[in-house]
Every structure is written in C-alpha cells, then in structure tokens.
Amino acid sequence: MIQRIQSLYLLLVFLASFGLAIGAKSQWGGSDFSSKTELFVFAEALFMGFLALGSLLKYKNRQQQFVLNRINLLLHLFLLGFFVYRSLNLSGGDSPEKGIGMLIPVFSIVMLVLANRAIKHDEDLVKSADRLR
C-alpha cells in the first residue's frame, strides 16, 4: 500500500482536507459556527478528507479507488468554485484572508490528478502482464 506513489498523493490530500477543516473551524469562531457557509465548508472538507482516506484504504481495488478519486476531484472543484464566488463577493480589498484558503483545494486537485494518473498506470501495467500469460 505505502510503496505506491498514489498512496502518498492521497495521504497529502487527506492531510490537506483535514487542515482545511481545522482552519475553517478555528477561523470562524472556535466552537460554534456563525453562518451556514462556515458549516458547509467545514462539513465538505471533512467529507473530502474521509473520502481520500477511504480511497487510500481501497488500494487492492484500483477501479474503486479511481472512481472515489474522481468524486473527490469534483467535490474539490465545487469547493474551489465556492471559494472564488465568496472571495469575489467579499468587500475589503486584497486581504490575505480572502485567498489563502483557496490554495488548499488547488493543491488537492493537483494531487488527485497525479494519483489518478498513477492508478491508471498501475492498471495498465497489470493488464499488460495479464496479456503475457
């Protein structure tokens, strides 16, 4: 499991998603949420983290791992679009708080694409080995 490069990519996505969830929780008031958007970002980041962990644990079934990564990729794209929409509607100029959280979904998207490419490469390698038998 850990010797495959996509496991490292998925572990980084898992850590980034939970980092985003912890950052969302600490940035917006500690123990309680003041709006539904904060709760949405926290819940989606947790879900994406658990989805990456589930995909990491499906290392024996590459097809399911590939599908889970695609779903996670779509969720990250949706969250990135939400962040862009929210940052365009915020007032206050160019404050660093507006754009720093948008880097985590971009990083995760890149890692998920690299993981899917590595999974596809492994699947092609197994299929070519099966042809030789």
For residue 13, pLDDT over 80 is answered with yes
pLDDT level of residue 109 (50, 70, 90 thresholds): very high
Domain boundaries, the chain: 5-132
% of the chain exceeding 90 in pLDDT? 40
pTM metric for this prediction: 0.83
pLDDT digits (tens, 9 = 90+) for 60-96: 888 999 999 999 999 999 998 888 887 777 666 555 4
What number is the average pLDDT over the span 111-124? 92
Burial code (b: 16+ CB inside 10 Å, e: under 16) for 8-26 equals bbbbbbbebbbebbebbbe
- Higher pLDDT pick, 41 / 55: 55
Q: In whole numbers, what is the pLDDT of the chain averaged over residues?
A: 82
Check if the beta carbon of residue 102 is closer than 8 Å to that of residue 16.
Answer: no
CATH topology for 5-132 is: Four Helix Bundle (Hemerythrin (Met), subunit A) (1.20.120)
> To 5 degrees, how large is the angle CA 22–CA 26–CA 32?
105
What number is the average pLDDT over the span 6-26? 87
Q: What share of the chain is helix, strand, coil (3-state, %, to 5)?
A: 85, 0, 15
Taking the mean position of all CA atoms in its chain, how far away is CA 81? Answer: 14
For residue 31, pLDDT over 60 is answered with no
- Could you give the count of Cα atoms lying within 13 Å of 87 in the half-sphere of its Cβ? 16
pLDDT level of residue 118 (50, 70, 90 thresholds): very high
